[in-house]
Amino acid sequence: MQISKEEGLKFLNVIYFTRRNTVFFIALIAAIISAFFVPFDKEYVSYFDFKTLTCLFCVLAVVCALRNINFFSVLARKTVAVFHNTRIAIIGIVYITLIGSMLITNDMALITFLPLSYFILVSTKKQKYMAFTFIMQNFAANLGGMITPFGNPQNLFLYSRFSIPSGEFMRIMLPHFLFSVFLITICCLFIKPDPLTIPEEKQEIPKGKTIIYLILFVLSVAIVFRGVPYIIGLIIVPIVLYFLDKKALSAVDYPLLFTFVCFFIFAGNMARIDAVMNLFTDLLEKSTLISSIVLSQFISNVPAAILLSQFTQNYSGLLVGVNIGGAGTLISSLASLITLKEYIKYNPGKTGKYILLFTLYNIGFLVLFTAFALILR
C-alpha cells in the first residue's frame, strides 16, 4: 500500500504535534484511565477551577499579542545593549528572563527570551556559554516565577484553589525567591568578563497597540489578584484581540490549557478512590514539603500541585514544594522541556552534553533549595 505525499505530511505533523505536546497526551491518557475507576457523573464539573483556566488564558493571549509586536524583544535588547562584557551580558539576559517570568509566566518568558540569548551569543561569538546560559535562564524562569501568583502555572492554581491572601503568598515565597536570585547570580559570576559588543538592530513597536495590550495585561493581573471578576476578562480580552491581533488568539498555548483540564479530571478522580486518598493523606501528614518535591520529579510540578491539593490544606508546604520541585529532573517542570527543545533546535548533536550539565546543576540546586526550605520550617 503506497502512502501519498499529503498523507505522509499529515502523519509527520501528527508525530511533531505529539512530541511537542507530550505532557498533554500523558495527561489525557491519565484522565481517560482514571475515568474507568470513577465513571462520569455530575461531580466531574466540580473538578474544574474555571478561574485558573481563565486567568491563564488571558495572560497567555495578551503576552502573545505583546510578543507579536516585538515588545519584549525591543525591551530586552535595549537593556542588554548597555552591558559591555560577557559576564554582565549573561547576568542581564538571565535577570530579564527572571523578571519576565514574574510577569508573563515562566513558559512564555523562556519562549520569548531564549531566542534572544541565542542571537546575542552567536552574534558575539560566545556560543561556548550557550548551554550554561540556557540552564540559568531555565532556573530564572522556574524559580523567579515563584514570587508571583501568575509566575508559574502551579502558583496560579494554588493561589486560586486555596484563596491564599496576596500578602501571605508573597511572605511564603519571598525567602525562597531571594535565595534563588542569590544562587543564580553566584553561578553567573564565574563567567569571564570578556569584552562584548552587541550588534545594533533597529526595531519599532506600534505605540497604539502597545498601550492597549498593556492595559489588557493590567486587566489580566487584576483578575489574578481578584480585583476584577474573571468573566470580564474572558469577554474583553478575546474580543479586543479578535479585532487587533487574531494571530495572538491562535498562538495561545491551548495544549497547556487542556493539560490543566485533563489533570483536573485525573486529580478529581484520584481523590474519590479510597486507597489513593489514604496513601497520599498519610504521605502529606508526614511532610507536605518533601512529598510535593519528590512527586514533582516524576510527574512535574503542575500536576503534582493539582493532585496533592486534593489531600491537604497545608498550602504553604505544598506551594514551596512544587516550586522547589521545578528543579531536579528534566520532567520536573514543563519549562525545562521547553528549554531542552530550544537548545536542541540551535545545537543539534549536543543533546547529551546539555542534559549532563543540566542534571548536575539541577541536582545541586534541588539539594540546596530543599535544605534551605527545611531550615526555614
Please say if the pLDDT value at position 71 is more than 70. yes
Centre a 10 Å sphere on the Cβ of residue 300 and count the other Cβ atoms it contains: 29
Segment 37-69, tens digit of pLDDT = 999 888 888 888 788 788 888 888 988 898 888
CB 321 within 8 Å of CB 292: yes
Whose cell is 493561589? That residue is: 159
Of 342, 338, 279, 267, give the one whose Cα is nearest residue 306. Answer: 267
Q: Which residues contact 118 (CB under 8 A, 6 or more apart)?
A: 130, 342, 346
Question: pTM above the 0.85 mark?
Answer: no
Residue 105's pLDDT is what? Answer: 79
CB 306 within 8 Å of CB 267: yes
Cα(175)–Cα(181) distance, integer angstroms? 10
Query: What single letter denotes the amino acid at residue 275?
Result: A
CB 321 within 8 Å of CB 289: yes
As a whole number of Å, the CA-based R_g of the chain is: 21
Which of residues 373 and 282 earns the better pLDDT score?
373
Cα(159)–Cα(369) distance, integer angstroms? 21
CA 94 and chain centroid, separation: 15
CA 234, 235, 239, 244 torsion-angle sign: negative
Segment 106-128, tens digit of pLDDT = 877 887 788 888 878 887 788 89
Rounded to an integer, the average pLDDT of 268-292 is 85
Residue 143's pLDDT is what? Answer: 85
Q: What share of the chain is helix, strand, coil (3-state, %, to 5)?
A: 80, 0, 20
Please say if the pLDDT value at position 5 is more than 70. no
Cα(324)–Cα(369) distance, integer angstroms? 6
Residue 200 binned pLDDT confidence (cut-offs 50, 70, 90): low
User: What's the mean pLDDT when you consider all of the chain?
Assistant: 85
Nine-digit cell string for 252:
495561545
Cα(47)–Cα(45) distance, integer angstroms? 5
Please say if the pLDDT value at position 266 is more than 70. yes
Segment 236-262, tens digit of pLDDT = 999 999 999 999 999 888 887 888 788
Which of residues 205 and 179 earns the better pLDDT score?
179
Residue 14's pLDDT is what? Answer: 65
Cα(107)–Cα(17) distance, integer angstroms? 18
Rounded to an integer, the average pLDDT of 131-151 is 91
